[in-house]
C-alpha cells in the first residue's frame, strides 16, 4: 500500500486524493488548518510546516511527498527530502517560490520575460523605476499569489504610495519591480515531467483573471501552432533545467504575438482543472503518476473545455448539471470573500457547442461578464 504525503490540504490536495483513489493510493495531508478541505477525503495531520516533530511524524507515515501549497518553507522541504523522496525537488520549489530567482532563470534559459529589477530599499525602488520605466508593478518576491502582495505603479509619483504599501516587506520577503505588460492574452502551459525525464504537455490554455484571480480558462487556446509550440518548448526547457518531477504550470503573457513568461507554479494548477473531464488523463492523475514513477497518461484533449472558477460562494449547481458536458466541483469550503470555493467545467465536441453551453450557463447564473470573453474568443 503506497501512501502519498501532501503538504497543504486545500482543493488541490483534495483533487489529487480523489484522482489517486482509482490507483489504490492512500494519502496523508498536512495543513496548518484543522478544517482544510482535503481533510474531508484524506487523513489530515494538523501542524506547522516548520515544526520538526510534526514533519517527522508526517515523514514516518508516507512513501513519497508532494505539495498542494508552493509556499511550504524550502528548508522544510529540504529536511523532508533527507528522509523521504520529495517531488518536485526542494531546489525547484525554492526557485519557483522566488520571483527574482525564477525570472533570472527564465532569462538565462532564453525564455523572454518582462523587464525586472530587484528592490531592497526605497533608493533601489527609484533606481528600478528609472531602469524598468512606468507603468510597472511592485511585487513581493515571495509569498505572493493571486495578485496579492502587488502594487501597480502608473507614474513615478506613485513610488511613495507603493513603498508605503509594500516597503515593510522588503526585509522579510524581498521585492521586485516588473514592467507592466499591456498584453492581449494570458496563456498557460500545464505540463508534467516524470521521474525518468519523460515530458508531456496538455494543449495551451487561455486564462482570464479578475482582480488578479483566475476567473476562466479555455482549452485549447485559440492560438496558432507555432505559438503553442514555443510556449510548450519554454516549459520543457525549464523543467529539464531544474530536473522538475510532477505537474507544473508556466504562466505567460502574449503581446502582439510575442510570449513573455510571468511565473511558474510548481504544482498542479488552477488553469489545468479542465483536464479532469477535458483530457484523457487529468493533471492530478498525471502528477501522482509522475511522483510515483508510473507511466504518464496521454494528455490529449477530448474536444473543447472551459473552466469557470467560483470565488467567494458557490452558485446554484443546476444550470451546469443540466448541460450535457457540465461538470461540478464543490471544494466543501465555507464561503468567504475572495476564496476559491469551487469550479465548473463545460466540455463540448465543438467550439460552437461550447460557446452555446457557456451562454446558457452565463445567463442562468447571471455570470455574463465571466463567460463573455470566452464566448468572444470561441467565435
Interface residues toward ligand AMP, by CB under 6 A: 114, 137, 144-145, 147, 178, 180-181, 186, 209, 212, 251, 262-263
- Give least dist CB 290 to ligand AMP, A: 23
**CB closer to ligand AMP, 59 vs 307:** 307
Which cell is 144 given?
505572493
- Are 61 and 5 within 8 A, CB to CB? yes
- Least Å distance, CB 172 to ligand AMP, is 18
Is 53 labeled as ligand-binding? no
148 is in an annotated binding site: yes
- Cβ-based nearer residue to ligand AMP, 25 or 187: 187
- What cell was used for 131? 531602469
The β-bridge relationship of strands 258-265 and 175-179 is unpaired
- Write down the residue that cell numbers 504518464 correspond to: 296
With respect to ligand AMP, which residue has the nearer C-beta, 179 or 288?
Answer: 179
Residue whose beta carbon is closest to ligand AMP: 181
58 carries a ligand binding annotation: no
Q: How far is the CB of 303 from ligand AMP (least distance, A)?
A: 26
Compute the distance between CA of residue 116 and CA of residue 95 in angstroms, rounded to an integer.
Answer: 16
> 174 labelled as ligand-binding?
no
C-alpha cell belonging to residue 280: 484523457
CB of 139 to ligand AMP, least distance (A): 6
Is 262 labelled as part of a ligand binding site? yes
Q: Which is nearer to ligand AMP, 61 or 107 (by Cβ)?
A: 107
User: How many angstroms separate the CA atoms of 263 and 251, rounded?
Assistant: 5
Q: Is the Cβ–Cβ distance between 176 and 114 less than 8 Å?
A: no
Q: Which one, 213 or 356, has the nearer CB to ligand AMP?
A: 213
Q: Which residue blocks in the chain are alpha helix, DSSP H? A: 11-20, 52-61, 74-81, 90-97, 99-108, 122-132, 159-166, 170-173, 225-241, 275-278, 283-292, 318-321, 351-364, 368-378
Q: What is the nearest approach in angstroms of ligand AMP to the Cβ of residue 213?
A: 8
Are 374 and 218 spatial neighbours (Cβ–Cβ below 8 Å)? yes
Q: Binding-site residues for ATP, please?
A: 99, 139, 144-150, 178-181, 186, 209, 262-263
Q: Binding-site residues, please?
A: 99, 139, 144-150, 178-181, 186, 209, 262-263
Amino acid at each position: 500500500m503506497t501512501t502519498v504525503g501532501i503538504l497543504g490540504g486545500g482543493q488541490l490536495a483534495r483533487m489529487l486524493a480523489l484522482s489517486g483513489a482509482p490507483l489504490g493510493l492512500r494519502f496523508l495531508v498536512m495543513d496548518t488548518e484543522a478544517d482544510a478541505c482535503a481533510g474531508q477525503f484524506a487523513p489530515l495531520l494538523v501542524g506547522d510546516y516548520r515544526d520538526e516533530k510534526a514533519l517527522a511524524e508526517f515523514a514516518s507515515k508516507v512513501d513519497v511527498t508532494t505539495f498542494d501549497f508552493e509556499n511550504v518553507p524550502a528548508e522544510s522541504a529540504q529536511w523532508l527530502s533527507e528522509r523521504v523522496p520529495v517531488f518536485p525537488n526542494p531546489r525547484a520549489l525554492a526557485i519557483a517560490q522566488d520571483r527574482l530567482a525564477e525570472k533570472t532563470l527564465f532569462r538565462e534559459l532564453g525564455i523572454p520575460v518582462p523587464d525586472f529589477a530587484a528592490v531592497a530599499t526605497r533608493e533601489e525602488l527609484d533606481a528600478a523605476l528609472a531602469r524598468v520605466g512606468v507603468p510597472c508593478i511592485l511585487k513581493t518576491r515571495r509569498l505572493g499569489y493571486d495578485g496579492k502582495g502587488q502594487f501597480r505603479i502608473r507614474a513615478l509619483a506613485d513610488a511613495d504610495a507603493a513603498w508605503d504599501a509594500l516597503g515593510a516587506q522588503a526585509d522579510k520577503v524581498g521585492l521586485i519591480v516588473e514592467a507592466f505588460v499591456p498584453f492581449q492574452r494570458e496563456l498557460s502551459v500545464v505540463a508534467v515531467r516524470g521521474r525518468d525525464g519523460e515530458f508531456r504537455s496538455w494543449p495551451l490554455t487561455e486564462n482570464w483573471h479578475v482582480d488578479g484571480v483566475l476567473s476562466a480558462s479555455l482549452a485549447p487556446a485559440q492560438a496558432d501552432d507555432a505559438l503553442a509550440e514555443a510556449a510548450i518548448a519554454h516549459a520543457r526547457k525549464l523543467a529539464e533545467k531544474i530536473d522538475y518531477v510532477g505537474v507544473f504550470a508556466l504562466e505567460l503573457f502574449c503581446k502582439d504575438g510575442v510570449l513573455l513568461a510571468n511565473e511558474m507554479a510548481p504544482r498542479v494548477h488552477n488553469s489545468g482543472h479542465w483536464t479532469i473531464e477535458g483530457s484523457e488523463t487529468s493533471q492530478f492523475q498525471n502528477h501522482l503518476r509522475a511522483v510515483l514513477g508510473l507511466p504518464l497518461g496521454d494528455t490529449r484533449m477530448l474536444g473543447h473545455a472551459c473552466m469557470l472558477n467560483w470565488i467567494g460562494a458557490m452558485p446554484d449547481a443546476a444550470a451546469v448539471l443540466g448541460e450535457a458536458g457540465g461538470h461540478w466541483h464543490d471544494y466543501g469550503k465555507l464561503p468567504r470573500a475572495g476564496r476559491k470555493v469551487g469550479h465548473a467545467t463545460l466540455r463540448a465536441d465543438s467550439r460552437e457547442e461550447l460557446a452555446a453551453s457557456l451562454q446558457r450557463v452565463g445567463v442562468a447564473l447571471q455570470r455574463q461578464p465571466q463567460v463573455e470573453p470566452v464566448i468572444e474568443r470561441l467565435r
